Amino acid sequence: MPEPSAVLTIDLDAIAANWRALAISHPSGPVAAVVKADAYGLGAIPVTRRLLAEGARHVFVAEFDEALALRDTVPRAVMLAVLHGLVAGNEAAAAEAGIVPVLNELGAVARWAAHAAARGVRLPAILQIDTGMNRLGLGRRELELLAQDRAALDALDLRFVMTHFVASEEAANPLNREQVARFDRLRALLPPAPSSVANSSGIFLGAFAASDLARPGAALYGINPTPGAENPMRTAVALDARILQLREIEAGESVGYNSTWVATRPSRIATVAAGYADGYLRSLSGRGVGIVGGRQVPLAGRVSMDLLTFDVTDAPEAATGGFIRLIGPDLPPDVVAERAGTNAYEILTSLGARYRRRYHGVA
């Protein structure tokens, strides 16, 4: 196999360790594996396999097609749930595949209940209650109407009632407790069912956010669920891009498009095989850094589609054919995100298809 221009290493051992740590931090109930968006860009199938081997028995994705793609990987004994519910017309396929929809509005409840009645079975479902996000989920008026519809409720095998935090990464935000209190009041309108409340950051809010099932996503992949405090998770990715060329330039010479970076001294520039087409965000222009031989080196000039340029004047280890690290334990996604003016979720989910992917600790 030819040598790659850039290598994305996904540490499944770290993801598994993060899942175990989250399970310890949520003693009130099990911890699911949220593998939506291709496991936050890291590969849903290998990540899911490893987390199933660790003991995960609840798997969440966002889209129905994501669930179908995982159906051969996830045993029928494991709950495979779709956060966005079902597009009208997918009911038969979902029931046949044993997929559990999160029902977010009355129309979806009615369609799923009707399909259950037509099949003569109770079909599994999760109901989402909106407690302040105003995005997906049933509000009070809809829940009151649903509470009067015994036929629809009786058609459902209600696995969980869930909600989603608005600001769980802000531990002191009073909205967190308000949402839990609202959730408890609203779910009292429904038949008794297990609850699912905490996302990654919610697991660290304390006992008031405890429930029967937590749904961490970002923390599994090493994103800090406790911003402002030390990250309790292990970084799960490393991105290394090959140095294609080294160039010596004089003071006063510029690098890259529109001459936005000008050397203030004789400089050594490394041109690297990655760019915004690979998910290295253009907003890192003038802000990004790489690592060579344990030293940070600044991005010189703009991020272009396929190439990056770094000032490696102070990194004698830099060599043509070698690599510059763009993300890793020594340069975690949260740090890259801060420099890019975004969050680590976008950093991971933007990682491109051209990287050679290598998995460490395959199940």
Rg of the chain's alpha carbons, rounded to an integer? 24
The set of catalytic residues is 36, 257
Beta strand 195-196 with 156-162: parallel, antiparallel or unpaired? parallel
Distant-in-sequence, close-in-space partners of 97: CB < 8 Å, separation ≥ 6: 67, 68, 71
Sign of CA dihedral 210, 34, 55, 163: positive
Torsion of CA 264, 268, 274, 279, to 10 degrees: -30
Task: For residue 158, give the DSSP letter.
Answer: E
Task: For residue 265, give the DSSP letter.
Answer: S
Neighbours of 2 (CB within 10 A): 5
Nearest to 155 by CA among 91, 97, 198, 201: 91
Do 31 and 233 form a contact (C-beta atoms < 8 A)?
no
Torsions phi, psi for 52 (to 5 deg): -65, -40
Do 38 and 2 form a contact (C-beta atoms < 8 A)?
no
Do 289 and 280 form a contact (C-beta atoms < 8 A)?
no
Do 23 and 15 form a contact (C-beta atoms < 8 A)?
no
